[in-house]
Structure 1
Amino acid sequence: MQKTLTIGNLTAKIPIIQGGMGVGISLSSLAGAVAREGAIGVISAAQIGFMESDFSTNPLGANLRALKKHIAKAKNIAPGGIIGVNIMVATKNYAQYVKASIEAGIDLIISGAGLPFELPSLVKGTGTKLIPIVSSLRAAQIILKMWMKKDGVLPDAIIIEGPLAGGHLGFKEEELTRGIETSEYEEEIRKIIGYVNEFAGTHNSSIPVITAGGISTKEEYQRQFELGASGVQISTKFVPTFECDAHENFKKAYLECEKEDIIIVKSPVGMPGRAIRNKFTELVSKEKIPIKKCRDCIITCNPATTRYCITDALINAARGNMDEALIFCGAKAYEETEIRHVKDVINDFIL
């Protein structure tokens, strides 16, 4: 019998959440296509308005406008489907992105790249479901205790993002460079799930836990449920799909990369990230690229000292200018060999 994923009063017939990928990689086309198949589609709010005509002069306004547009488009693609938005805690004007998403009727908000302490108060009185991202038992403990103490609420679900995930990662750079063995991190997953279940139980509730990072085969998918997960988050495998919003050159970079091309980079966000080696990563490893214009995207970025503008680097990726782009990816991007449909990717896991 096919498993489902229930988050509050929302039930996805397929227990897969498509990970939010910015800038411009998971927008309404991908999120809508995933939700239409019965899984949960996720839009990344990161600099989502980069294609708006006034983005350079009014980035916040452009982003909030585009966010609402893409939520509406995704819901139109998947009537009755479940659509979420990923909003990084490190985002400047974080509260405004949360409120805009709620106004647009978003079903759930996923938040990582920091601990989302203020999220419950921002959605109070709405039906929007809340899903924080953690990578350690300590982070899960802090969020659960803080949310309960401050707002008297529990997360509607929790995502555990492991060391094989793409983009920004909640690990020390030396941990990622050394490499964390699957068996080693599985123990952490068990500890987090055990603690979450115990904490929820003391409040007569339950919190589904979703695991993420490097899940690329049916066997790895099924293993997550053996560990106690209620669902999985998949990102990398949705990039080389016809429905993905990414530029064709971005998808091509996944198909052409080798295992040794996938590296750990330093990000202006303050966290290490996983990306595909290219001319840009080689350049920024040696020298600083002066920032011509700051678009106030990340709280932790200091334009005077950062090695490069992450907005410019990710927009270049979204536009297909790969030599000047930061190409975020998961640890197993090199396994991808062809462009397929979202339905085919989902079927790899459930059939």
Structure 2
Amino acid sequence: MSFPTLKIGDIIANTPIIQGGMGVGISLSKLASAVANEGGIGVIAGAMIGMSEPDVGKNPLEANIRAMRKEIRKAKEMTKGVLGVNIMVALTNFADLVKTSLDEKIDVIFSGAGLPLDLPAYLKEYYEEHKEKAHTKLVPIVSSARAAKILCKKWASKYDYLPDAFVVEGPKAGGHLGFKAEQLEDPDFALEKVVSEVIDAVKEFEAKSGKTIPVIAAGGIYNGEDIKKFIEMGAAGVQMGTRFVATDECDADDRFKQAYVEATEEDVTVIKSPVGLPGRALKNKFVEDSRKGLKKPFKCPFECIHNCAHEQSPYCIAAALLNAKKGNLSRGFAFSGTNVHRIKEIIPVRKLIDSLRNEFSSTNK
């Protein structure tokens, strides 16, 4: 049994795998284009994408827009496959990054870290202004059937538009999590349960509209057996982040990737992020120091996240993640999913996709 295709409207990916958007420079054009070339959906993360631009301290808004445009164009030069961007609702420059992505004719906009209640407004405005048929698909990232229903109702009533798909992110994901800390180990919030609930929730909207709304499972998915399990449950595909960090094409420094290879199960921890959400990361001295309240003095030049409590935080999360991305893990930390300890080597994206395909094909029901 080979991989089924993943269809989001009229966009078709021959491999039903979305590479998760990993912010502050972990997934940029190099990784996204490599995944797209293997038939998956490669995703450029918009969160502080301009951190490596020389003028980001003085002109963060312009630097981020410029970097987003640059990365989308670079990725398109390297692939004819399907490309997406991940733009967090919590970003202060959310609207600008959405408009830039539409202008660059990106295939898919994935959006989480809050409910993207007004996302269709930008789509409609852009395509009406340019008198074009809409190309870009809108895919919210949710962690509950309730959130999926709210978005379907709001988008349908206000914009006569339904999500083109949903990514359902469970509690085993890396990075910021859409759950309370006490829900992370609660079986009632397990990915399998939430995916089934979202599939059921969208059925009424599909029946009324005649539009198919694929549901994509994310968070803790590691191998081809996991992919098969969720597809047999009714998911249209999966999103994977952690596995793609340990690839040659990942845009992070090799020392960042090596931290994944060396990680043990005990190294994975849940932190309280300055943005007010729990986050899953790898333990290191930086994380332990911040837990002890040891302040890393900083000013907030970026104002990148709406709800960042930077006045009370012992560190700047954008700077910490950028330092880690550059390999300086003494001044930052790496986000990761729960299964990072299973990674033993850094391999090319092609080899990873091939292994996932082989595992999928050889898994018995």
Same fold (TM over 0.5): yes
The match for 1:283 is: 289
Per-residue displacement from partner, 1:294-341 (whole Å, max 9, x unpaired)? 311000013322332111111111111101112100111111110101
Secondary structure at 2:230's aligned position in 1? helix
The 5-angstrom pairing of residues 97-246 of structure 1 reads 97-124=97-124, 125=127, 126-176=134-184, 179-181=185-187, 184-246=190-252
Find the aligned partners of 1:34 and 1:221 in 2 and give their Cα distance: 16
Per-residue displacement from partner, 1:44-70 (whole Å, max 9, x unpaired)? 011111111111111111111011110
State the one-letter code of the partner of 1:50. M
Asked whether 1:324 is paired with 2:324, we answer: no
Find the aligned partners of 1:266 and 1:325 in 2 and give their Cα distance: 14
Find the aligned partners of 1:85 and 1:112 in 2 and give their Cα distance: 11
Moved over 6 A (4+): none
Contact 2:191 2:219 in 1 (8 A): no
Q: Percent identity?
A: 50
Asked whether 1:71 is paired with 2:72, we answer: yes
Secondary structure at 2:235's aligned position in 1? coil
The match for 2:37 is: 36
Which residues of structure 2 form unaligned runs of 5+? 128-133, 359-365
User: Relative to structure 1, is the Cα distance of residues 197 and 348 closer, same or farther in structure 2, using a 3 angstrom cutoff?
Assistant: farther
Per-residue displacement from partner, 1:271-315 (whole Å, max 9, x unpaired)? 111000001110110114332233110000133223321111111
Asked whether 1:25 is paired with 2:64, we answer: no
Find the aligned partners of 1:183 and 1:307 in 2 and give their Cα distance: 30
The match for 1:260 is: 266
User: Relative to structure 1, is the Cα distance of residues 346 and 182 closer, same or farther in structure 2, using a 3 angstrom cutoff?
Assistant: farther
Count of residues paired in the alignment: 348
Find the aligned partners of 2:217 and 2:75 in 1 and give their Cα distance: 24
User: Relative to structure 1, is the Cα distance of residues 89 and 184 closer, same or farther in structure 2, using a 3 angstrom cutoff?
Assistant: closer
State the one-letter code of the partner of 1:107. D
- Give 1:183 shift: 9.1
- Give 1:182 shift: 9.0
Per-residue displacement from partner, 1:66-101 (whole Å, max 9, x unpaired)? 11110011111112x111000000000211110011
User: Relative to structure 1, is the Cα distance of residues 152 and 313 closer, same or farther in structure 2, using a 3 angstrom cutoff?
Assistant: same
State the one-letter code of the partner of 2:69. K
Per-residue displacement from partner, 1:204-223 (whole Å, max 9, x unpaired)? 21101100011112111100
Secondary structure at 2:338's aligned position in 1? coil
Secondary structure at 1:334's aligned position in 2? helix
Find the aligned partners of 1:251 and 1:334 in 2 and give their Cα distance: 12
Contact 2:57 2:301 in 1 (8 A): no
Secondary structure at 1:332's aligned position in 2? helix
Contact 1:291 1:303 in 2 (8 A): no
The match for 1:335 is: 342
Find the aligned partners of 1:276 and 1:313 in 2 and give their Cα distance: 13
The match for 2:131 is: none
Contact 2:174 2:338 in 1 (8 A): yes
- Give 1:115 shift: 0.2
Which residues of structure 1 form unaligned runs of 5+? none
